[in-house]
Structure 1
Protein backbone atom coordinates (compact mmCIF):
# COMPACT_ATOMS: atom_id res chain seq x y z
CA UNK A 1 0.00 0.00 0.00
CA UNK A 2 1.43 3.34 -1.03
CA UNK A 3 1.10 6.31 1.26
CA UNK A 4 1.50 9.93 0.50
CA UNK A 5 4.85 11.42 1.41
CA UNK A 6 3.39 14.70 2.61
CA UNK A 7 1.42 14.49 5.81
CA UNK A 8 -1.54 16.82 6.11
CA UNK A 9 -0.70 19.90 8.15
CA UNK A 10 -2.53 21.16 11.14
CA UNK A 11 -5.17 23.70 10.30
CA UNK A 12 -6.10 26.29 12.87
CA UNK A 13 -4.84 29.24 14.82
CA UNK A 14 -1.28 27.95 15.19
CA UNK A 15 -0.85 26.63 11.65
CA UNK A 16 1.14 29.67 10.51
CA UNK A 17 3.29 31.54 12.97
CA UNK A 18 2.43 35.14 12.29
CA UNK A 19 3.32 37.93 14.67
CA UNK A 20 0.30 39.55 16.25
CA UNK A 21 -0.01 43.20 15.44
CA UNK A 22 -0.80 45.79 18.03
CA UNK A 23 -4.31 46.97 17.32
CA UNK A 24 -6.02 49.90 19.02
CA UNK A 25 -8.39 47.51 20.81
CA UNK A 26 -5.54 45.35 22.14
CA UNK A 27 -4.11 48.43 23.83
CA UNK A 28 -7.40 50.10 24.79
CA UNK A 29 -8.86 47.19 26.77
CA UNK A 30 -5.93 46.78 29.22
CA UNK A 31 -5.64 50.56 29.51
CA UNK A 32 -9.32 50.97 30.38
CA UNK A 33 -9.13 48.07 32.85
CA UNK A 34 -6.09 49.67 34.51
CA UNK A 35 -7.75 53.09 34.76
CA UNK A 36 -10.92 51.60 36.22
CA UNK A 37 -8.95 49.43 38.66
CA UNK A 38 -6.84 52.40 39.79
CA UNK A 39 -9.86 54.62 40.35
CA UNK A 40 -11.61 51.88 42.29
CA UNK A 41 -8.54 51.22 44.46
CA UNK A 42 -8.28 54.92 45.29
CA UNK A 43 -12.04 55.06 45.98
CA UNK A 44 -11.79 52.17 48.44
CA UNK A 45 -8.84 53.79 50.21
CA UNK A 46 -10.49 57.22 50.30
CA UNK A 47 -13.05 56.06 52.88
CA UNK A 48 -15.22 59.16 52.60
CA UNK A 49 -12.51 61.74 53.30
CA UNK A 50 -10.73 64.13 50.98
CA UNK A 51 -8.37 62.80 48.33
CA UNK A 52 -4.69 62.72 49.26
CA UNK A 53 -1.46 62.33 47.35
CA UNK A 54 -1.06 58.78 48.64
CA UNK A 55 -4.37 57.78 47.11
CA UNK A 56 -3.34 59.25 43.77
CA UNK A 57 -0.07 57.30 43.89
CA UNK A 58 -1.97 54.15 44.85
CA UNK A 59 -4.33 54.65 41.89
CA UNK A 60 -1.50 55.25 39.44
CA UNK A 61 0.67 52.36 40.58
CA UNK A 62 -2.09 49.77 40.96
CA UNK A 63 -3.75 50.80 37.71
CA UNK A 64 -0.45 50.68 35.82
CA UNK A 65 0.37 47.26 37.26
CA UNK A 66 -2.99 45.77 36.29
CA UNK A 67 -2.84 47.34 32.83
CA UNK A 68 0.69 46.02 32.25
CA UNK A 69 -0.20 42.52 33.42
CA UNK A 70 -3.37 42.43 31.31
CA UNK A 71 -1.47 43.67 28.26
CA UNK A 72 1.31 41.11 28.75
CA UNK A 73 -1.19 38.29 29.18
CA UNK A 74 -3.08 39.33 26.08
CA UNK A 75 0.17 39.28 24.06
CA UNK A 76 1.25 35.78 25.14
CA UNK A 77 -2.11 34.05 25.58
CA UNK A 78 -2.09 32.47 22.10
CA UNK A 79 1.16 30.65 22.84
CA UNK A 80 -0.17 29.02 26.00
CA UNK A 81 -2.19 25.80 26.08
CA UNK A 82 -5.77 26.31 27.21
CA UNK A 83 -5.17 24.94 30.72
CA UNK A 84 -2.24 27.22 31.43
CA UNK A 85 -4.09 30.14 29.86
CA UNK A 86 -7.00 29.57 32.24
CA UNK A 87 -4.59 29.39 35.20
CA UNK A 88 -3.01 32.70 34.13
CA UNK A 89 -6.38 34.45 33.95
CA UNK A 90 -7.44 32.97 37.30
CA UNK A 91 -4.18 34.01 38.98
CA UNK A 92 -4.38 37.55 37.60
CA UNK A 93 -7.96 37.92 38.79
CA UNK A 94 -7.24 36.36 42.19
CA UNK A 95 -4.36 38.74 42.81
CA UNK A 96 -6.33 41.78 41.69
CA UNK A 97 -9.39 40.97 43.81
CA UNK A 98 -7.26 39.98 46.81
CA UNK A 99 -5.46 43.32 46.66
CA UNK A 100 -8.72 45.28 46.46
CA UNK A 101 -10.16 43.39 49.42
CA UNK A 102 -6.96 44.03 51.41
CA UNK A 103 -7.50 47.77 50.97
CA UNK A 104 -10.70 47.55 53.04
CA UNK A 105 -8.74 46.62 56.22
CA UNK A 106 -10.80 43.49 56.80
CA UNK A 107 -7.79 41.27 57.32
CA UNK A 108 -5.44 39.08 55.36
CA UNK A 109 -7.41 35.81 55.65
CA UNK A 110 -10.52 37.39 54.16
CA UNK A 111 -8.61 38.89 51.24
CA UNK A 112 -6.92 35.53 50.57
CA UNK A 113 -10.19 33.59 50.69
CA UNK A 114 -12.11 36.04 48.50
CA UNK A 115 -9.23 36.33 46.03
CA UNK A 116 -8.92 32.56 45.77
CA UNK A 117 -12.68 32.08 45.45
CA UNK A 118 -12.96 34.57 42.61
CA UNK A 119 -9.77 33.24 41.01
CA UNK A 120 -11.06 29.66 41.04
CA UNK A 121 -14.34 30.83 39.53
CA UNK A 122 -12.53 32.69 36.75
CA UNK A 123 -10.28 29.66 36.19
CA UNK A 124 -13.26 27.35 35.81
CA UNK A 125 -15.09 29.72 33.48
CA UNK A 126 -12.09 30.41 31.26
CA UNK A 127 -11.04 26.75 31.23
CA UNK A 128 -14.48 25.77 30.00
CA UNK A 129 -14.47 28.60 27.45
CA UNK A 130 -11.02 27.77 26.04
CA UNK A 131 -11.53 23.99 26.17
CA UNK A 132 -14.86 24.12 24.34
CA UNK A 133 -13.39 26.28 21.54
CA UNK A 134 -10.04 24.46 21.18
CA UNK A 135 -11.33 21.85 18.78
Structure 2
Protein backbone atom coordinates (compact mmCIF):
# COMPACT_ATOMS: atom_id res chain seq x y z
CA UNK A 1 0.00 0.00 0.00
CA UNK A 2 1.33 3.45 -0.84
CA UNK A 3 1.85 6.09 1.80
CA UNK A 4 1.98 9.82 1.37
CA UNK A 5 5.35 11.48 1.88
CA UNK A 6 5.57 13.92 4.75
CA UNK A 7 5.01 17.51 3.70
CA UNK A 8 7.76 19.01 5.88
CA UNK A 9 11.24 17.73 6.48
CA UNK A 10 12.76 18.21 9.91
CA UNK A 11 15.07 21.20 10.12
CA UNK A 12 18.75 20.52 10.67
CA UNK A 13 20.63 22.37 13.37
CA UNK A 14 22.64 25.30 12.01
CA UNK A 15 25.94 23.90 13.31
CA UNK A 16 27.41 20.98 15.14
CA UNK A 17 26.61 21.10 18.84
CA UNK A 18 29.46 22.24 21.06
CA UNK A 19 30.20 19.56 23.66
CA UNK A 20 32.83 21.57 25.56
CA UNK A 21 32.10 24.37 27.99
CA UNK A 22 33.32 27.93 27.63
CA UNK A 23 35.85 27.25 30.41
CA UNK A 24 37.32 24.37 28.40
CA UNK A 25 37.67 26.60 25.35
CA UNK A 26 39.40 29.30 27.45
CA UNK A 27 41.88 26.75 28.81
CA UNK A 28 42.49 25.30 25.33
CA UNK A 29 43.34 28.76 23.96
CA UNK A 30 46.39 28.73 26.24
CA UNK A 31 47.10 24.99 26.60
CA UNK A 32 47.30 24.11 22.90
CA UNK A 33 49.93 26.74 21.94
CA UNK A 34 51.99 25.98 25.05
CA UNK A 35 51.89 22.23 24.46
CA UNK A 36 52.77 22.61 20.78
CA UNK A 37 55.48 25.11 21.73
CA UNK A 38 57.02 22.61 24.15
CA UNK A 39 57.07 19.92 21.47
CA UNK A 40 58.56 22.40 18.98
CA UNK A 41 61.18 23.62 21.45
CA UNK A 42 62.23 20.07 22.30
CA UNK A 43 62.47 19.21 18.62
CA UNK A 44 64.60 22.30 17.86
CA UNK A 45 66.91 21.51 20.78
CA UNK A 46 67.21 17.86 19.72
CA UNK A 47 68.03 18.86 16.15
CA UNK A 48 70.59 21.37 17.41
CA UNK A 49 72.56 18.92 19.56
CA UNK A 50 72.52 16.23 16.84
CA UNK A 51 72.66 13.36 19.33
CA UNK A 52 75.37 14.97 21.45
CA UNK A 53 75.22 15.84 25.12
CA UNK A 54 72.56 18.18 26.49
CA UNK A 55 74.12 21.54 27.36
CA UNK A 56 72.88 24.72 28.99
CA UNK A 57 72.86 26.53 25.63
CA UNK A 58 70.85 23.69 24.18
CA UNK A 59 68.26 24.01 26.95
CA UNK A 60 68.17 27.78 26.47
CA UNK A 61 67.58 27.35 22.73
CA UNK A 62 64.74 24.90 23.40
CA UNK A 63 62.98 27.11 25.93
CA UNK A 64 63.48 30.26 23.86
CA UNK A 65 62.02 28.45 20.84
CA UNK A 66 59.08 27.32 22.96
CA UNK A 67 58.30 30.84 24.17
CA UNK A 68 58.58 32.43 20.72
CA UNK A 69 56.53 29.68 19.04
CA UNK A 70 53.73 29.84 21.63
CA UNK A 71 53.66 33.66 21.63
CA UNK A 72 53.45 33.85 17.84
CA UNK A 73 50.77 31.14 17.75
CA UNK A 74 48.63 33.01 20.30
CA UNK A 75 49.13 36.29 18.47
CA UNK A 76 48.11 34.81 15.14
CA UNK A 77 45.15 33.01 16.68
CA UNK A 78 43.91 36.30 18.12
CA UNK A 79 44.53 38.42 15.03
CA UNK A 80 43.81 36.29 11.94
CA UNK A 81 40.07 35.57 12.33
CA UNK A 82 39.34 39.24 11.55
CA UNK A 83 41.33 39.17 8.29
CA UNK A 84 40.16 38.23 4.80
CA UNK A 85 40.77 34.63 3.79
CA UNK A 86 43.86 35.42 1.69
CA UNK A 87 45.72 37.19 4.49
CA UNK A 88 44.47 34.68 7.04
CA UNK A 89 45.92 31.78 5.06
CA UNK A 90 49.08 33.73 4.17
CA UNK A 91 49.97 34.59 7.77
CA UNK A 92 49.51 31.01 8.99
CA UNK A 93 51.50 29.74 6.00
CA UNK A 94 54.33 32.18 6.74
CA UNK A 95 54.32 31.09 10.39
CA UNK A 96 54.46 27.40 9.46
CA UNK A 97 57.16 27.95 6.83
CA UNK A 98 59.36 30.03 9.15
CA UNK A 99 58.91 27.60 12.04
CA UNK A 100 59.81 24.62 9.87
CA UNK A 101 62.68 26.43 8.16
CA UNK A 102 64.23 27.39 11.51
CA UNK A 103 63.82 23.88 12.87
CA UNK A 104 65.34 22.41 9.72
CA UNK A 105 68.27 24.84 9.88
CA UNK A 106 69.26 23.33 13.22
CA UNK A 107 70.20 20.09 11.44
CA UNK A 108 73.36 21.71 9.96
CA UNK A 109 71.91 21.88 6.46
CA UNK A 110 72.62 24.86 4.23
CA UNK A 111 70.64 28.08 4.46
CA UNK A 112 69.38 27.61 0.91
CA UNK A 113 68.09 24.12 1.66
CA UNK A 114 66.39 25.32 4.86
CA UNK A 115 64.80 28.22 2.97
CA UNK A 116 63.60 25.94 0.17
CA UNK A 117 62.08 23.48 2.65
CA UNK A 118 60.37 26.32 4.53
CA UNK A 119 58.92 27.68 1.27
CA UNK A 120 57.59 24.25 0.30
CA UNK A 121 55.89 23.88 3.67
CA UNK A 122 54.52 27.45 3.50
CA UNK A 123 53.11 26.91 0.00
CA UNK A 124 51.45 23.66 1.05
CA UNK A 125 49.93 25.18 4.17
CA UNK A 126 48.70 28.20 2.18
CA UNK A 127 46.98 25.97 -0.39
CA UNK A 128 45.23 23.87 2.24
CA UNK A 129 44.15 26.80 4.42
CA UNK A 130 43.02 28.98 1.52
CA UNK A 131 40.84 26.13 0.26
CA UNK A 132 39.41 25.58 3.75
CA UNK A 133 38.66 29.27 4.34
CA UNK A 134 37.27 29.71 0.82
CA UNK A 135 34.86 26.79 1.20
CA UNK A 136 33.65 27.98 4.61
CA UNK A 137 32.29 31.36 3.47
CA UNK A 138 28.97 32.49 2.09
CA UNK A 139 28.52 34.36 -1.18
CA UNK A 140 29.37 37.75 0.37
CA UNK A 141 32.63 36.51 1.90
CA UNK A 142 31.39 36.20 5.51
CA UNK A 143 32.61 33.23 7.49
CA UNK A 144 30.10 30.53 8.31
CA UNK A 145 30.46 29.81 12.02
Interval containing the TM-score (normalised by the shorter chain) = 0.7 to 0.9
Match of 1:102 among 86, 105, 122: 105
- Counterparts of 1:52 and 1:60 in 2: how far apart (Å)? 13
Aligned position for 2:20: none
**Which segment drifts farther, 106-115 or 74-83?**
74-83
Aligned position for 1:5: none
Match of 1:64 among 55, 67, 71: 67
Aligned position for 2:87: 84
1:25 partnered with 2:28: yes
Q: How many matched pairs? A: 115
Structure 2: gaps spanning 5 or more residues? 1-22, 139-145
> Tell me, what secondary structure is at the counterpart of 1:128?
helix
| Distance apart, 1:101 and its partner CA | 1.0
Rg bigger for which structure? 2
Q: Deviations over 1:85-120 (max 9, x none)?
A: 000010000100110111111100000000000000
**Which segment drifts farther, 93-102 or 21-30?**
21-30
Q: Normalising by the residue count of structure 2, what TM-score does the alignment of the two structures yield?
A: 0.76
- Counterparts of 2:81 and 2:115 in 1: how far apart (Å)? 29
- Counterparts of 2:26 and 2:123 in 1: how far apart (Å)? 30
> Tell me, what secondary structure is at the counterpart of 2:58?
helix
Where in structure 1 do 4 or more consecutive aligned residues deviate above 4 Å? none
Q: Normalising by the residue count of structure 1, what TM-score does the alignment of the two structures yield?
A: 0.82
RMSD, matched Cα = 1.3
- Counterparts of 1:34 and 1:71 in 2: how far apart (Å)? 11
Structure 1: gaps spanning 5 or more residues? 1-20
- Counterparts of 2:76 and 2:117 in 1: how far apart (Å)? 22
